[in-house]
Structure 1
Amino acid sequence: MSSQWLTSDFAGLSNSQLYAALKLRQEVFAVEQASIYVDADGLDPEAIHMLHWQDGELLAYQRCLPPGLQETESTLGRIVVAPAARGKNLGRELVRRGITHNLERWPQAAIRIHAQAHLEDFYRELGFVTQGDVYGLDGIPHLEMVLSTAPA
């Protein structure tokens, strides 16, 4: 089994890598979750993209955004694990890698996420704190959560 992590800016992604990321995002967020929204929101060119491949198949993806682009804080977003790869702690590893990246790259900035509400406990375990109430985003209940310091 060949496993590979890739962290890249937008320009560093090959066409096939970008296509795989967009395809996975669409399969999960639009089709599986039955949410109609514009995924290509203009932020991808400014993002750092994290992808996890196993045997040539993209299993996990997220994007890291700098402070001031989407929020005052840095952000992790479009966090997704392929259905076939769930239940193997890949999501935890993915988010931990994102946290490490953002805190190293933008050490003065906290990290804000727009978490799907049913994943609140998952993100709490990783050090995020809920701010505010549940709100609807693209037809799915969400919460804003912030990580102010490096997790223990």
Structure 2
Amino acid sequence: MDWKTYYFEELTAKKLYEVLKLRVDVFVVEQNCPYPELDNLDQQSIHLLYSEDGVIQAYARLVPGGVKYDLPSIGRVIVRQEARGRGLAKQLLEHSINYILTEWKAPAIQLQGQVYLQEFYQSFGFQPISESYDEDGIPHVDMKLTDSKM
């Protein structure tokens, strides 16, 4: 299994293109949700990728605390459509949480999840900290994993 983390500067033009294409393919095209994908957070984030045979199968963006939220956050959580149902989303979250706790020594982690994935995130200990709200036409909820849940 090939899980790797990259700082923005470490992404080659080809790898960055693959990441952005996957994000647009899933969040904009598959979910039929036009929104501003390029939000100026990538440059400050860690990019966690899982690849097989040179093709990205799973991806998450780890944003340091003080950039989007006061706490570090996990976002742009994706498993390629053809790779779903294999447990990659669970592994992706485990790797994301582990990186933030180990490398950044964070006391808590925040995320903005789609409501239909709320139970999935709760299975890792994340708890809702907001009511459901509309974000670009899709119901979302803010969630937080605190030190007492880790």
TM-score category, normalised to shorter length? over 0.9
Aligned to 1:113: 111
C-alpha displacement of 1:140: 0.4
Report sequence identity in percent: 37
Aligned to 1:75: 73
The runs of at least 4 aligned residues of structure 1 exceeding 3 Å deviation read: none
TM-score by length of 1: 0.95
C-alpha displacement of 1:150: 7.1
Q: What do residues 123-150 of structure 1 show as CA deviations (whole Å, max 9, x unaligned)? A: 0001101112100111100000000127
C-alpha displacement of 1:106: 2.3
| Pair 149,30 (structure 1): closer, same or farther in 2 beyond 3 Å | same
C-alpha displacement of 1:108: 3.7
Aligned to 1:9: 7
After TM superposition, the structure 1 = structure 2 runs for residues 1-152 of structure 1, keeping only pairs within 5 Å, are 3-149=1-147
| Unpaired stretches in structure 2, ≥5 consecutive residues | none
Output the amino acid matched with 2:24: Q
Kept in 2, the 8 Å contact 1:26–1:39? The answer is yes
CA distance in 2, matches of 1:149, 1:69: 20
| Pair 150,29 (structure 1): closer, same or farther in 2 beyond 3 Å | farther
CA distance in 2, matches of 1:57, 1:136: 32
CA distance in 2, matches of 1:150, 1:45: 31
Q: What do residues 93-128 of structure 1 show as CA deviations (whole Å, max 9, x unaligned)? A: 001100011111222431100000000000000110
Output the amino acid matched with 1:93: Q
CA distance in 2, matches of 1:92, 1:126: 9
Kept in 2, the 8 Å contact 1:74–1:109? The answer is no
